């Protein structure tokens, strides 16, 4: 069978809620669909038995043509079987392109699938396009984000993973979507991994990937006083606190708050960089933000090249005065 | 018990040289051991400390000078250290790399009980290799492991933790385990270790030892190819707030209010 279509891993949580990155990938696929003639957009959802009507409708609104559902009560959101099942689905409906969100779960599914299908996988792409031969062109930062590379895969399916928040979600008009239920016998898969216990952690800090406002602490602000001022500002703006790799390494933020190539990609309406120098690894994680404001005492800091508004001043001085002015 | 730890030499990201094929020229770039791979070695050594008769082998694929990270591994306490080195491996992507690593397990270390990887490398690799090697060997893989609890009756218990949840996992051996950077603090090499590292004869395996064909590895065996490399320059036009102006903080506050729509 000639490979056809764009297949997306429809990551869900245990309640069947589809991860935001799936809608982002569907939206990007609509763009690719316009360039590649006659490619169906398919999303594969793997979960226990439940009602998927609302999910199917939602995916359709963003341009998905077909939802492939594998539901079995032995399945949960745990990814143990997902890699095997997704691979089977990709064999049954051989696609031209496979797109997967670069989440913890997604990365595992993507690596397994690419290996079993003997095809190439480009991870953590920052853009997707097509070249003159109608092949997928995957753009990703290489080498610690110092350079950007376009990567082409010579085998089918062409696979790519993309971090959440890289592509915007775009609703479409009048797309017809259908749902197909598939049966894959999971009892065939030998169970070698057993989950003994799962504890959901209390998340003490605000999720930076969905925040409208982020105040980011760079190396210049990474001390007790700086962090106090940053938390104060974030609270005032009802925003989340994030940091760079250096700030994480100094222990002032958690891994969940780290932005950049080794951390998260964010796209808030407002991003305030405080004492952030602006290494390209960091920029890769913030460039989709709405407005970027940078506060740094070094006028040559690269962050200013990527900011909309800059203020060259002592950050402690600025942050100490700012909350009062915001109240006015 | 036989443990293999795959370690990777990563270029010092401050000083990069490129080949004509747009791949990293590792011969001209200074190399260090990937930080989390050090912790993978430590995880293996901690098992060795507890289980008598355990043999830990560090394996790396790379150019001749990658021997330096094997020396470091020997000095830290691993029993054996092996270099996978062949010009035909050069330019391998994850797909081709995982073929070489899984092939060497099959040909040279068929009795391996446990394979360790660091979760990801700092040089642009994105944590696929461990999963891919596991898939090729049809082994179970557990990842983001921040604690090894123990091994009993050929079952390894471990804890995986991310920002949202903590999971206790049991996995049947043989298995692949990818550890994260919270797992441990690697020990420092001892003087005796350095002496052993100096005298140790480092076996080097080539394409021949993997049993693979030339077309399966290196640039030929890599489905993904870099078509174009460029410097990312998509800057914005920054407007500076004049700090000489006594209203500068007010101006800044207004910019913030404008952005959040107040």
Query: How do residues B98-128 score in pLDDT, each as one tens digit?
Result: 999 999 999 999 999 999 999 988 776 678 9
**Residues B145-157 pLDDT 10s:** 999 999 999 999 9
Measured between alpha carbons, how far is A197 from A38 in angstroms, rounded to an integer? 46
* Local structure of residue A205 (DSSP, 8 states): S
Q: What residue of B is the nearest CA neighbor of A304?
A: B238
Q: What is the DSSP string of A120-164?
A: -EEEEESEEEE-TTS-EEEEEEETTTTEEEEEEESSSSEEEEE-T
In this prediction, residue A256 carries a pLDDT of 86
Q: What residue of B is the nearest CA neighbor of A288?
A: B234
- The strand pairing partners of A8, in sequence order, are A43, A99
In this prediction, residue A188 carries a pLDDT of 59
Measured between alpha carbons, how far is B73 from B7 in angstroms, rounded to an integer? 9
| Pairwise CB contact (< 8 Å): B163 & A254 | yes
Token pair 């609703």 in the structure block, residue: A171
Measured between alpha carbons, how far is A115 from A120 in angstroms, rounded to an integer? 8
Which residues on A lie below 8 Å from B237 (Cβ)? 308
Helix (H) or strand (E) holding B40: helix B35-50
Measured between alpha carbons, how far is A270 from B257 in angstroms, rounded to an integer? 10
Candidate ranges A36-45, A185-194, B35-44; pick with highest mean pLDDT: B35-44
Measured between alpha carbons, how far is A156 from A65 in angstroms, rounded to an integer? 21
Helix (H) or strand (E) holding A186: none
Count of CB atoms situated within 10 Å of the CB of A36: 18
Res. B138: pLDDT tops 60: yes
In this prediction, residue B191 carries a pLDDT of 92
Give yes or no for B217 touching A (CB within 8 A). no
Which residues on A lie below 8 Å from B248 (Cβ)? 311, 313
Instruction: Please confirm whether the linkage preceding A157 is cis (ω < 30° from 0).
Output: yes
Measured between alpha carbons, how far is B138 from B134 in angstroms, rounded to an integer? 6
In this prediction, residue A116 carries a pLDDT of 94
Give yes or no for B11 touching A (CB within 8 A). yes
Range name among A36-45, B28-37, B244-253 with the lowest pLDDT average = B28-37
The C-alpha of B217 sits at a distance from chain A's nearest C-alpha, in angstroms, of 13
Q: Answer yes or no: are the C-beta atoms of A67 and A27 closer than 8 Å.
A: no
Which residues on B lie below 8 Å from A143 (Cβ)? 11, 13, 16, 24, 123-124
In this prediction, residue A29 carries a pLDDT of 95
Nearby residues of A255 by Cβ (< 8 Å), 6 or more positions away:
A248, A263, B163
Residue A274: pLDDT band by 50, 70, 90 thresholds?
Answer: very high
Give yes or no for B123 touching A (CB within 8 A). yes
ipTM of the complex: 0.84
Q: Answer yes or no: are the C-beta atoms of B21 and B81 closer than 8 Å.
A: no
Give yes or no for B138 touching A (CB within 8 A). no
- The closest alpha carbon to B210, from B49, B43, B54, B92, belongs to B92
* Cα separations in angstroms, A167 against A10, A27, A162, A173, B123: 16, 8, 9, 19, 24
Q: Answer yes or no: are the C-beta atoms of A107 and A161 closer than 8 Å.
A: yes
Take residue A233 and report the two structure tokens written for it. 């500002």
The C-alpha of A159 sits at a distance from chain B's nearest C-alpha, in angstroms, of 10
A 14-43 residues with CB < 8 A to B: none
Give yes or no for A235 touching B (CB within 8 A). no
Take residue B245 and report the two structure tokens written for it. 């102006």
Which residues on A lie below 8 Å from B136 (Cβ)? 115
Sign of torsion over alpha carbons A108, B92, B100, B7: negative
Take residue B164 and report the two structure tokens written for it. 């949202």
The C-alpha of B127 sits at a distance from chain A's nearest C-alpha, in angstroms, of 8
What distance lies between CA B153 and its chain's CA centroid?
A: 29
Res. B21: pLDDT tops 80: no
**Residues A58-108 pLDDT 10s:** 999 999 999 999 988 776 655 568 898 999 999 999 999 999 999 888 999
Count of CB atoms situated within 10 Å of the CB of A15: 9
Give yes or no for A255 touching B (CB within 8 A). yes
In this prediction, residue A152 carries a pLDDT of 94
Average pLDDT over residues B209-224: 92
**Residues A213-264 pLDDT 10s:** 999 999 999 999 999 999 999 999 999 999 998 888 888 998 889 998 778 8
Give yes or no for B234 touching A (CB within 8 A). yes
Q: Which of B164, B232, B236 sits opposite A308 (nearest CB)?
A: B236
Nearby residues of A116 by Cβ (< 8 Å), 6 or more positions away:
A87, B135
Which residues on A lie below 8 Å from B222 (Cβ)? 120
Res. B13: pLDDT tops 60: no
**Residues B27-61 pLDDT 10s:** 666 778 888 999 999 999 999 999 999 999 999 99
Average pLDDT over residues B67-80: 95
* Per-chain mean pLDDT for chain A: 88
Decide which of B20 and A39 is more confident: A39
The C-alpha of A175 sits at a distance from chain B's nearest C-alpha, in angstroms, of 33
In this prediction, residue A82 carries a pLDDT of 87
Give yes or no for B170 touching A (CB within 8 A). yes
Q: Answer yes or no: are the C-beta atoms of A158 and A135 closer than 8 Å.
A: yes
Take residue A164 and report the two structure tokens written for it. 């959440």
Nearby residues of A156 by Cβ (< 8 Å), 6 or more positions away:
A3, A94, A96, A119
**Residues A111-140 pLDDT 10s:** 999 999 999 999 989 899 999 889 999 998
Task: Report the percentage of chain A scoring pLDDT > 70.
Answer: 94
A 56-85 residues with CB < 8 A to B: 83
| Pairwise CB contact (< 8 Å): A322 & B249 | yes
Q: Answer yes or no: are the C-beta atoms of B34 and B54 closer than 8 Å.
A: no
Burial B148-162 (b: 16+ CB within 10 A, else e): beebeeeebbbbbbb
Chains A and B: how many Cβ contacts under 8 Å? 222
| Pairwise CB contact (< 8 Å): B223 & A120 | yes
Q: Answer yes or no: are the C-beta atoms of A126 and A284 closer than 8 Å.
A: yes
Token pair 């010009």 in the structure block, residue: B87
The C-alpha of B128 sits at a distance from chain A's nearest C-alpha, in angstroms, of 6
Average pLDDT over residues A145-155: 83
Token pair 């990777």 in the structure block, residue: B8
Count of CB atoms situated within 10 Å of the CB of B126: 22
Measured between alpha carbons, how far is B131 from B177 in angstroms, rounded to an integer? 9
Q: Which of A194, A290, A312 sits opposite B170 (nearest CB)?
A: A194
Measured between alpha carbons, how far is B51 from B179 in angstroms, rounded to an integer? 19
Dihedral-angle region of residue A145 (phi above 0 means left; psi in -120 to 50 means alpha; beta otherwise): left
Q: What is the pTM of this model?
A: 0.84
| Pairwise CB contact (< 8 Å): A141 & B170 | no
Nearby residues of A148 by Cβ (< 8 Å), 6 or more positions away:
A126, A139, A140, A141, A142, B229, B230, B231, B232
In this prediction, residue A301 carries a pLDDT of 85
Q: What residue of B is the nearest CA neighbor of A109?
A: B131
């Amino acid at each position: 069978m000639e490979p056809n279509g764009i297949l997306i891993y429809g990551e869900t949580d245990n309640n069947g809620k589809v991860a935001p990155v799936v809608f982002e990938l569907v939206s990007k696929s609509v763009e690719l669909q316009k360039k590649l003639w006659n490619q169906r957009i398919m999303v594969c959802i793997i979960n226990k038995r439940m009602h998927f009507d609302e999910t199917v409708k939602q995916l359709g609104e963003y341009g998905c043509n077909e939802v492939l559902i594998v539901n079995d009560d032995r399945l949960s959101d745990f990814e143990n079987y997902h890699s095997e099942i997704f691979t089977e689905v990709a064999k049954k409906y051989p696609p031209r392109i496979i797109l997967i969100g670069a989440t913890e779960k997604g990365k595992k599914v993507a690596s397994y699938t690419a290996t079993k299908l003997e095809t190439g996988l480009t991870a953590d792409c920052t853009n997707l396009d097509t070249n003159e031969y109608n092949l997928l062109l995957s753009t990703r930062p290489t080498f610690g984000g110092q350079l950007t590379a376009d990567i082409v895969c010579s085998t089918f399916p062409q696979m790519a993973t993309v971090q959440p928040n890289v592509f915007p979600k775009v609703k479409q008009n009048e797309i017809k979507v259908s749902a197909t239920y598939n049966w894959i016998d999971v009892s065939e898969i030998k169970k070698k991994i057993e989950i003994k216990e799962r504890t959901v952690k209390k998340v003490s800090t605000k999720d930076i990937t969905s925040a409208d406002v982020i105040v980011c602490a760079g190396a210049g602000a990474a001390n007790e006083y700086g962090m106090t001022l940053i938390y104060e500002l974030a609270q005032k703006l009802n925003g989340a606190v994030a940091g760079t790799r250096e700030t994480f390494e100094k222990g002032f933020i958690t891994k969940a708050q780290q932005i950049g190539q080794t951390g998260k990609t964010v796209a808030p309406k407002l991003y305030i960089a405080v004492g952030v120098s602006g290494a390209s690894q960091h920029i890769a994680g913030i460039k989709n933000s709405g407005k970027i404001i940078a506060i740094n005492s070094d006028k040559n800091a690269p962050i200013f090249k990527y900011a909309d508004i800059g203020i060259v001043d002592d950050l402690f001085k600025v942050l100490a005065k700012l909350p009062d002015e915001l109240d006015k | 018990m036989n443990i293999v730890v795959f370690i990777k030499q990563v270029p010092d990201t401050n000083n990069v040289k490129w080949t004509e094929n747009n791949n990293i020229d590792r011969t001209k770039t200074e190399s260090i051991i990937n930080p989390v791979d050090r912790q993978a070695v430590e995880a293996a050594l901690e098992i060795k400390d507890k289980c008598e008769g355990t043999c830990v082998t560090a394996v790396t694929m790379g150019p001749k000078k990658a021997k330096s990270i094997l020396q470091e591994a020997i000095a830290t306490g691993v029993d054996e250290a092996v270099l996978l080195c062949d010009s035909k491996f050069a330019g391998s992507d994850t797909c081709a790399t995982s073929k070489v690593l899984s092939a060497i397990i099959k040909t040279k270390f068929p009795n391996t009980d446990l394979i360790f990887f660091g979760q990801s490398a700092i040089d642009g690799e994105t944590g696929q290799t461990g999963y891919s090697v596991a898939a090729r060997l049809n082994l179970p893989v557990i990842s983001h492991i921040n604690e090894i609890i123990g091994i009993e009756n050929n079952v390894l218990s471990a804890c995986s933790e991310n920002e949202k949840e903590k999971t206790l996992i049991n996995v049947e051996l043989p298995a692949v385990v990818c550890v994260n950077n919270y797992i441990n603090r690697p020990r420092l090499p001892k003087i005796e270790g350095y002496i052993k590292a100096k005298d140790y004869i480092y076996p080097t395996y080539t394409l021949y030892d993997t049993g693979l064909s030339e077309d399966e590895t290196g640039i030929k065996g890599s489905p993904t190819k870099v078509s174009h490399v460029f410097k990312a320059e998509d800057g914005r036009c920054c407007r500076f707030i004049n700090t000489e102006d006594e209203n500068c903080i007010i101006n800044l506050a207004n910019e913030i209010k404008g952005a959040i729509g107040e």
